[in-house]
Amino acid sequence: MYKGFYNLSSSMLTQNKNLNVISNNLANVSTSGYKSDKMVTGTFKDEVMSRTGNNILGAEGDSLGNSSMITVPYETVTDFTDGGWEETGSVLDFAINGDGFFEVATQDKTVYTRNGSFGLDEEGYVVLQGIGRVIGSNGPIKLTSDNFNVTQDGGIYDATGKLVSKLKIVDFNNYDNLTKVDEGVFTSGDAAQAADSAVLWKYVETSNVDPMHEMTDMLVSQRTLQSAAQILKMYDSMAAKATEIGRVQ
């Protein structure tokens, strides 16, 4: 019976975490450049094996016992596939056609994003709202007028045809080392490399969240959670009756 308690409780905890991930995806359906997350689950035994390269006792062939069937969340992985492009007509909207990220400077670090829905701060610098200033070829990009043109290589030219700056597009060899720090914003321990992907001006990349798929996953997760909760109540009732019978005897 105790094995059943452990298995059901772990399943409920795992499904709760999965619902949090799904809810966050659905909340960002309209967030430009957002990349959806998916929670990967497994058994406690698999988790121990993946972390240690062996089993919990450190010896081949030794059993993990009842704990081996307890469900645990491995990790949350991000889907970096493109979300498509939407024309906005805004002169401060940009999208990357291909691999790569925009580089943004926060107060204490550099972050990377596919969200090209930019704005201007009070000093005229191009910013990703709430995050930081967008980096160009010569540092943070500053505009003195909204009368400018942008070429496919990310070059920003004023009305006279003079190059003001060039959007810095970078990429990484291994996306597994990217860490999400905000919605659609990442940091990386790896060195960024220059990317030559084309820039789409007056476009933004849409979120790659599939609402129908997320809703289906949410229903499955909710039903699994509800079923586990109902069976757990039955276990609890059986344990209470067994205790009463023991007292009578």
Confidence of residue 12 (pLDDT cuts 50, 70, 90): confident
Tokens linked to 112? 């990377």
Nearest-CA neighbor of 121 among 109, 110, 111, 131?
A: 131
Count Cβ atoms below 10 Å from residue 181 Cβ, excluding itself. Answer: 15
pLDDT tens for 80-103 read: 999 999 999 999 999 999 999 999
pLDDT number for residue 30: 93
pLDDT of 180 over the 60 cut? yes
Residue 219 clears pLDDT 60, i.e. is over it: yes
Other residues' Cβ atoms within 10 Å of the Cβ of residue 66: 13
Flag whether pLDDT at 242 surpasses 90. no
Find, among 162, 182, 178, the residue nearest to 170 by Cα.
Answer: 178
Has residue 173 got a pLDDT over 90?
yes
Quote the pLDDT of residue 92. 97
Tell me which H or E stretch contains 193: strand 193-194
115, 180 Cβ separation under 8 angstroms: no
pTM: 0.76
Q: Would you say residue 112 has pLDDT above 60?
A: yes
Q: State the amino acid at position 110 in one-letter form.
A: T
pLDDT for position 75: 79
pLDDT at 122: 94
Distance CA 86, CA 207 (A): 10
User: Per-residue pLDDT for 131 more than 70?
Assistant: yes
Residue owning tokens 């039955």: 234
